[in-house]
Each structure stands twice: as structure tokens, then as C-alpha cells.
Amino acid sequence: MLGRGHQRTARDRHRLAGRHRPTRELHRPPVTSARFAGMTLLAALKAFYLEHRRCGDLDGGVEDDRVGVTRTCGAQWCASWRSARLPGSMRLIGLAVALAVSLILAPLATEAQPTGKKARIGVLLLPPRAEAGGTYIQALREGLHELGYVEGQNLLLEIRWAEGRPELLPGLAAELLSTGPDVLVTSGSESILTLKRATDVIPIIMATVMDPVALGIAASLAKPGGNLTGLAILSLELTSKRLQLLKEAVPRLSRVAVLWNPANPGNVLVLREVETASQTLGLRWQGVAVRRPGELASAFEAIVSAQSNGILAIEDSMLLSYRSRILESVARIRLPAMYAFRQFVDAGGLMSYGPNIPDSFRRAAVYIDKILKGAKPADLPIEQPTKFELVINLKTARALGLTIPPSVLGRADQVIE
């Protein structure tokens, strides 16, 4: 039978084993290799300290001056307290302590500072970087910055420019995919369809798209499905409005030449709306196809031969990429023209009507943020623009000898003098 002292010892042992040990183990930090090395070195230093403290090496020592005898510690690696107090030895001890502390604290500092992953965004653009494309990228950067993304810190932008050449899009898309992007961003039917053919896994944000449902790349605006979502400019509905405004601004308008790109699937859809709207407005129209910039000269020759007295340039990134050449040709034949993008009017075109495309790119940043935080593109509704801008260049109107009716000027969001 155990005595009282033994019973207390057994109870204490039971208490420590059953209650306190799990608590200590629950909060015990993991022992990394660096921490283990530091712990081992500290243990050795502790033994060194205790051994030399016993013989007085580290706290003043014990020396009998009368007989000139020094008490030694008996350790093999220290002959006497005097040798331990040599400057070189003390420096060695200090270095060892510093090394032990660094070995222990370095892993802790690393663990306390988690390395954040940089979001990698791939961007594919057909318009040239020196013109509209650069404006779009700037708007995208601003939108991302407003949401807390900073390039070089938590954001990497991989941008590929086709510089107005659609034939470069497939190769550039392959380059983008090789960078391992988390999200892809693009605009325009050609670029969107190129990325869609390249991947059905990586999320694709469409900064602008004509009508994704009609193009067959979204099941619906509310539930797009697949790996695409973004913003639709619904140009099919805008086409009739553009023709109506051009007719109001130019009452004598009777025959319209429509600049379009057969390589752009969205343009084919727009032409159907042109047919319907022209019949309603009592206009005749002629499609003038432009697949590449080399066809612009012959296209304007066809416009003159058809005796058109107005021009409608529908949405197309290739046409936008060569807006300077288009505007020069329009000015040469002195015809009023309606454009889909205000960049034409800013550069000297007569009038434009449509959504603000840079704002669409800025809004695309919100989609990027949602995707990076776990949302699926299939579940993110495709937005529609809520505001459309009518921009009129009065300087160009005067050059054409055209007086814009007050009823049209009064609806303009911006008038360029």
C-alpha cells in the first residue's frame, strides 16, 4: 500500500498526464529544422554556462590570491576560469548566442509574414496601344487600383497587343495562356471568340461585347454559363438609334454607306438591324466591307460611286484601330458620318452615339475582383450599359456646311466646339 507521499505523487502524476500535458501539446509550435538547431545550440550554451558558473568562470570566479591557486571546472573544453574570460572566448560565446537567436527568430519572422500571391491578369487587345488600346488599359488599371490592386505588389498584368491586326490574335492568345493567368480580359467579338477557342477553363471577362447571346457565347445575360462574363453594349439596339440621329442631324439623308468588317461575327448581326432600321426610316443602304486597312481606299471609292450622302461606321476594333485613315477619307469626300465610338469624334468625326468604352474597362475590374475572390463567371450576370453618350463635333459640322438642329444639339452629352 502506498504511503501518503506516494499517493500524492501518483495523483499529481495522474493530474499532469490527464490535464496539463494535452494543453501544453495543443499550443506547442511545430519544430522546424531551423528551430531544432537553435534549441540544440541553446541547450549546449546552457550547459556551458552552468558548468562554468559552478567554477566561477562567468560570475567572477573564485581565486585564492594567497596561494595563487585557481579552481578549475573540470570540463575538457575549458582549462580554467581565466581562459574563459579571455576576450576572444567571450566574443565566441556572444557570436554563438547571436547565432542561436537568429536561428530561432528567423523562421518565426518568416512564418509571421505570409507571402501573398500576385494575381496574374492576361489582357488581349486588338486596338493599337498608342491609340484606343492604351486608353482602355489605363481605365482597367484605374479600376483595379480602386479595388486595392497594385502592379508589382499583388497584381501582374500580362498584355498582348494585336496592333489592329486580327491575324495575330491566335498566336497572342497562346502566349497569354502560357503565362498561367488567373483571369483573362478582352473586348470585341474577334478577340473574345479567339480566347474562347483557346480555353474553356480560365475565366474570361468581356469588357465589351455586342450581343453575347446572339453570338452564341452566353446562354443568357442573367446566367451566361461557361467561362465568360462581362459587359454587353447591345449594339443591335443601338444601330437603329444611330441611324435615327444621323437622319435628324442631316434631314436630306437618303442613302447610307455602312462600313463593316466581314471578319467580325458581331458585324454580321448588326447588318440585320441596319436593314430593319433603314426600312423604318425610309433610307437606302449599302454595305461596304473592310477586312483590312489595305481595303480602305477601294471602300471609299465604292461609297462615292454609289452616290451615298451619309456614312455609318459600326462597332469594330479593326476600324477603330485605323480611325485616322478613315477620318481622312471621310473628310476628303465631305460626307457626314455617324460612329460607334467617341474616339472618332474626338479626332475630328462628326458624331457618335454609344456607351463609354473606357468606363466599361474600368467596370471590368469589378468582375476580375469577384473572380479572384472565388466567384464563377457562369454565375455572374452580364451587365448592360445604363448610360449612352451622344457627342457632336460642331467644328466638323461647320466644315461640312451642316447646321445641326437644336433638337439634336439639346440631347448631346458633349458638344466639341
Average pLDDT of the chain? 80
Please list the rounded mean pLDDT of every run of 10 residues in the chain (417 residues): 45 45 40 48 51 46 38 41 44 48 44 63 94 92 97 96 94 97 96 96 95 91 95 84 96 96 90 93 96 93 95 93 94 97 95 94 97 97 91 97 96 95
- By three-state DSSP, how is residue 158 classified? strand
Residue 384 is classified by DSSP as: -
How do residues 339-366 score in pLDDT, each as one tens digit? 999 999 999 999 999 999 999 999 999 9
Output the DSSP codes for 34-90. Answer: HHHHHHHHHHHHHHHHHHHHHTTTTTT--EETTTTEE-----TT---HHHHTSHHHH
pLDDT score recorded for residue 56: 46
Residue 283 is classified by DSSP as: -
Hey, how many other C-beta atoms are within 10 angstroms of the C-beta on 264? 24
CA distances from 97 to 47, 57, 93, 142, 283 (A): 13, 17, 6, 50, 91
Q: Tell me which H or E stretch contains 161.
A: strand 155-161
pLDDT score recorded for residue 83: 40
For the entire predicted model, the pTM comes to: 0.69
Question: Measuring CA to CA, which residue among 406, 414, 362 is closest to residue 390?
Answer: 414
pLDDT score recorded for residue 47: 54
Instruction: Give percent of the chain with pLDDT exceeding 70.
Output: 72
Q: Taking a C-beta distance cutoff of 8 angstroms, is the pair 391, 412 a contact?
A: yes
pLDDT score recorded for residue 234: 75
How far is 266 from 243, CA to CA, in rounded Å? 18
One-letter amino acid for residue 129 of the chain: R
Q: Taking a C-beta distance cutoff of 8 angstroms, is the pair 303, 335 a contact?
A: yes
pLDDT score recorded for residue 91: 47
CA distances from 276 to 4, 269, 282, 289, 308 (A): 105, 12, 10, 19, 19
Sequence-distant (≥ 6) Cβ neighbours of residue 118 within 8 angstroms: 153, 154, 155, 156
Output the DSSP codes for 231-280. Answer: EE--HHHHHHHHHHHHHHH-TT--EEEEEE-TT-HHHHHHHHHHHHHHHH
Q: Taking a C-beta distance cutoff of 8 angstroms, is the pair 269, 314 a contact?
A: no
How far is 134 from 343, CA to CA, in rounded Å? 12
Q: Taking a C-beta distance cutoff of 8 angstroms, is the pair 274, 312 a contact?
A: yes
How far is 236 from 311, CA to CA, in rounded Å? 17
pLDDT score recorded for residue 94: 52
> Residue 247, exposed/middle/buried by CB under 10 A (0-12, 13-18, 19+)?
buried
